[in-house]
Structure 1
Amino acid sequence: MASTEPIFETDRPTGGDRRRWFALAIVMTAAFMDLVDVTIVNIAIPSIQRDEGASFSQLQWITAGYALAFAAGLITGGRLGDIHGRKRIFLLGVGGFTAASALCGLAVNPEMLVASRILQGAMAALMVPQVLSIVHATFPAHERGKIFGLFGAVIGLGTVSGPLLGALLTEWNLFDLTWRPIFLINLPVGVAGLILGSRVITESRAPHALKLDVVGVVLVTLGLLMLIYPLTRGRELGWPLWGYVSMACSLVVLAALVSYERRKTARDGSPLIELELFRVKSFAAGIAVQTVFGVVLGVFFLVWTLYMQVGLGWSPLRAGLTGVPFSIAVSTAAGLSVQKLVPRFGRRVLQAGALVMAAGVLLYMWESDRYGIGITSWQMAMPLVVMGVGMGLIIAPLTDAVLSEVPRKHAGAASGLINTVQQMGSALGLGLVSVVFFGVIGDHLSPAEIGPAYGDAFRHALAWVAGVLGLIFLLMFALPKRPAQHVEGTPTASPAEGDQPALVP
């Protein structure tokens, strides 16, 4: 799904107001807070399971619920900002995100935590789409290239620091609160953002009337929920018939969404999804790659955390530190791919990334099987570095490859759709964990059986991940051979006036 139609600001940004730099710091902090909150939770999942007695499906929904609410609400949040004012909706999102974080930290049972995480994802969907829109409305064109470079650094820092921060907060057990500080840490940041943001952020909105596609939002949310909920609960409930019926009917609902969006486009030109985008072959293929890649990430990061902390019995801090080589490899390869490799070798860099990441996954499977529960962090370093290099080669240039043949008039809609489908893919991947990981683990394990059982389940999940990466390699043949980074339709670097770029973590 998308942000909105290309927007022309009502108030042109000026370069003389010093408050714009304070506004930049606030929206960057909000983006950082969202990125950290996505990654910080994974490392604390085993502690939540131990302290709260959460079931496997509840553990999945703690992460999948956030991703699903975030994905389903992204376009709605962007459209609401254009209609009612980006500053107003941004502050509403920050306030709601802060309140939801408090509810997560104060949750008295797994059900309350899952509900609070879904609310947190919905509030992030109000907050995040406004971030770059506010930058676009606040800064003149000649300053935006530097600003977007800073956002790249913030995204990298949030991705790397989230697991480590989660590990430290969980390990320190501040005030005997165990995992709760990973959510409560958002409270002072959110309150400060509300107070300062109300004073320094300049209001902006779309100059012409826009309509919110409520029916489209309901259909896409319902379709995804009908697919993901049976996946997460199916194993726990013995795979009842209604689950299969629900998953089959989800395809009917999504087909109805396409039909409705086609009619709405013809009627008033304000659909939730710009179906015209899918006539561009490279964009359609790229959306498929983004979705499937989101599934890979959703599966891997949750099962990896459970494998280290539950299967191997490692502390959150050790698990967090073990992931540092992976994060460094992703950041290094991402910068190298965009600056040096893709301009020279084009699409082959992304395909090489899929194969390299698959090779790292297979190496990880081999080492896990060879060393068993005695595997060490340094033995994991090599497969994690190989996987990180492969992921970095894909994740940084993929957006440019998908957007390179999209007409400029649809650039904003296409950018938002890329972000949304990746989040939806992640939610679907988290739902599949019950099949590819928990489905291999027995219900009643003795302490001596836990390590080997989790190791077997981890390798089984990695085999699925490797297979999906092979599918991604094949899908990439439909991408342009040499994606153009600064042609019509590509909102990279400094977007032209009228484009509303999307923040893609």
Structure 2
Amino acid sequence: MSSPVAVPQTTLAPSGPADRRRWLALAVVMTAAFMDLVDVTIVNIAIPSIERDLSATFGSIQWITAGYALAFAAGLITGGRLGDIYGRKRLFLLGITGFTLASALCGFAVNPDMLVASRLLQGAMAALMVPQVLAIIHVTFPAHERGKVFGMFGAIVGLGAVSGPLLGALLTQWNLFGLEWRPIFLINLPVGIAGVLLGRKFITESKAPKALRLDVIGVVLVTGALLMLIYPLTRGRELGWPLWGHLCMAGSALVFVAFVAYERVKTRKDGSPLVELSLFKVKSFAAGIAVQLTFGISLGIFFLVWTLYMQIGLGWSPLHAGLTGLPFSLAVSTAAGLSVQKLVPRFGRKVLQAGALTMAAGVLLYLWEAGRYGADISTWQMVPPLVVMGLGMGLIVAPLTDAVLSDVPREHSGSASGLINTVQQMGNALGLGLVSVVFFGVVDDRPSTTPAAVTAAFTDGFQNALGWVGVVLLGIFLLMFALPKHRAVAPAEAQAPDPEKVLVG
């Protein structure tokens, strides 16, 4: 699979204040990135409403979230590679069109199966759209403007984290036109249509001059291994943990081994593997990938369980739950900005480790409060542990990618960035699958014939899940000792890899 030679970057990057098209292009891709970020966080808050309206099982509920994360993770590297081959503008427009269509299908879903299938499609389309965003920014703006642009992009990420749960709560609570939860998906339609029309007009096309071939077999192997692991985890409890489920999970390890072996052969054969295995020879990168995976697992478990605990266990409205999460989001944004600008340049790796311990302390405080106050716990009592957890998470998420990339050769920074993002999404999908074990496994063992019994069961499940999240965070703290003590790569290099090598933004 070959690709035409790209226009040189100096030609693509407009110069002079007269050309304002690049700012309109920036608005388009940032809006798309914001739409994806909000869509990830907006769904959790509406899960109980979806469960009631569609009579969905808890297994289906897990797949509504895990399916999106799995499809997104499986397609990220592939989406980035396709952008290199066929053009980033073309893949961005295809992705945002598909994402908008999938959002419509989600909004009009008539049963859980249709919603799960639509979420899988939505995740796959996001995997085509999202990798192109930073690559388009990089080839559209000259070097002296990129610092400001990436700062704006970081602000959009923070805004998405804060506004997603609250917007989801408001749309669900308002029950617009009697549609209940459906507007959380339908709101994407006007945004997506505008993005397609404006993107066609203002985004400049770019391709990698020497794009590699797409590793189709690698895509099939890694996707198959993930499905063999996560599907039985998600459905196993409902189906009584059948033998085929255990065989699939065991077999997934063999498929992962086959994937690694094939990637080695692919590297020797034509130098175009899906994953650059030589990156794992870099100690800090290998450890960082393990951190990203386990951190993704902890977040996947916490956010779904937390939503179910507040809305089903405690009987809170979506708006009540959404407002309760606001201090958490604000704490994340505050600590993230502080860590990158002030703390990491001075203290290096210790900032991330302090973040893991701080977040674990917040989890333990939350664990104690859930047991101490039971059904009588209030929003104000939740604020202290949520703020502590948010501060810890902010100290991790902002500088982690930079720390992981610090010892990676610059020529592999694009591939490494793509792998980091993919592994984090894989961890998230795996965490969502593990909810069956660490949360529903406890809830099912408790009698739930009365509202008080339901609250007690969900509180017990929440505490058990929090305990596991705390254990994972302590493991992350230990893994961080393998990260470099201080940053060795400038932020601009970590955040803005060579566009000819970008796989995932």
Q: Deviations over 1:207-257 (max 9, x none)?
A: 224210010000000000000000001111111111110000000000000
Counterpart in the other structure of 2:3: none
2:22/2:140 contact within 8 Å kept: yes
Q: Deviations over 1:365-417 (max 9, x none)?
A: 10011110010000000000010111111111111110000001100000111
Q: Distance in 1 between matches of 2:8 and 2:463?
A: 51
Q: Distance in 1 between matches of 2:50 and 2:89?
A: 35
Q: Distance in 1 between matches of 2:268 and 2:400?
A: 31
Q: Does 1:319 align with 2:321?
A: yes
Counterpart in the other structure of 1:3: none
Q: CA RMSD in A?
A: 1.6
2:12/2:206 contact within 8 Å kept: no
AA paired with 2:350? R
Q: Kindly tell me: are residues 194 and 371 of structure 1, through their superposed partners in 2, closer, same or farther at Cα, counting changes over 3 Å? A: same
Q: Does 1:455 align with 2:456?
A: no
Secondary structure of the corresponding residue to residue 212 of structure 1: coil
Secondary structure of the corresponding residue to residue 235 of structure 1: helix
AA paired with 1:307? Y
Counterpart in the other structure of 2:360: 358
How do 1:427-446 residues align onto structure 2 when only pairs under 5 Å count? 427-442=429-444, 445-446=448-449
Q: Does 1:277 align with 2:279?
A: yes
- Deviation (angstroms), 1:491: 2.3
Q: Deviations over 1:179-201 (max 9, x none)?
A: 00000000000111111111111
1:10/1:205 contact within 8 Å kept: no
Q: Deviations over 1:281-311 (max 9, x none)?
A: 0000000000000000000000000000000
Aligned counterpart for 2:488 among listed residues 484, 491, 502:
484
AA paired with 1:144? R
Aligned counterpart for 1:378 among listed residues 373, 377, 380:
380
Q: Deviations over 1:265-289 (max 9, x none)?
A: 0111110000000000000000000
Q: TM-score, normalised by structure 2?
A: 0.96
Counterpart in the other structure of 2:70: 68
2:418/2:502 contact within 8 Å kept: no
Counterpart in the other structure of 2:103: 101
* Deviation larger for 251-260 or 133-142: 133-142
Counterpart in the other structure of 2:293: 291
2:356/2:476 contact within 8 Å kept: yes
Counterpart in the other structure of 1:172: 174
Percent identity over the alignment is 74
Counterpart in the other structure of 2:13: 13
Aligned counterpart for 1:25 among listed residues 12, 24, 27:
27
* Deviation larger for 446-455 or 267-276: 446-455
Q: Distance in 1 between matches of 2:94 and 2:9?
A: 21
Secondary structure of the corresponding residue to residue 484 of structure 2: coil
Secondary structure of the corresponding residue to residue 313 of structure 1: coil
1:9/1:205 contact within 8 Å kept: no
- Deviation (angstroms), 1:116: 0.1
- Deviation (angstroms), 1:135: 1.1
How do 1:108-127 residues align onto structure 2 when only pairs under 5 Å count? 108-127=110-129
Q: Distance in 2 between matches of 1:491 and 1:130?
A: 17
2:208/2:501 contact within 8 Å kept: no
Q: Kindly tell me: are residues 214 and 381 of structure 1, through their superposed partners in 2, closer, same or farther at Cα, counting changes over 3 Å? A: same
1:357/1:390 contact within 8 Å kept: yes
Q: Distance in 2 between matches of 1:211 and 1:345?
A: 42
Q: Distance in 2 between matches of 1:452 and 1:209?
A: 56
Q: Distance in 1 between matches of 2:8 and 2:75?
A: 23
How do 1:96-245 residues align onto structure 2 when only pairs under 5 Å count? 96-245=98-247
Q: Kindly tell me: are residues 417 and 497 of structure 1, through their superposed partners in 2, closer, same or farther at Cα, counting changes over 3 Å? A: closer
1:141/1:495 contact within 8 Å kept: no
Unaligned runs of 5+ in 2: 1-5
- Deviation (angstroms), 1:142: 1.2
Q: Distance in 1 between matches of 2:381 and 2:266?
A: 55
Unaligned runs of 5+ in 1: 1-5
Q: Distance in 1 between matches of 2:265 and 2:78?
A: 19
Q: Deviations over 1:93-116 (max 9, x none)?
A: 010000000000000000000000
Counterpart in the other structure of 1:56: 58
Q: Distance in 2 between matches of 1:427 and 1:404?
A: 27
How do 1:249-288 residues align onto structure 2 when only pairs under 5 Å count? 249-288=251-290
Q: Deviations over 1:302-351 (max 9, x none)?
A: 00000000000000000000001101111111111111111111111111
Q: Distance in 2 between matches of 1:103 and 1:85?
A: 27
- Deviation (angstroms), 1:496: 5.7
Q: Kindly tell me: are residues 493 and 71 of structure 1, through their superposed partners in 2, closer, same or farther at Cα, counting changes over 3 Å? A: closer
2:401/2:494 contact within 8 Å kept: no
Q: TM-score, normalised by structure 1?
A: 0.96
1:40/1:166 contact within 8 Å kept: yes
Q: Does 1:300 align with 2:302?
A: yes
Q: Kindly tell me: are residues 79 and 494 of structure 1, through their superposed partners in 2, closer, same or farther at Cα, counting changes over 3 Å? A: closer
- Deviation (angstroms), 1:12: 3.1
- Deviation (angstroms), 1:483: 2.3
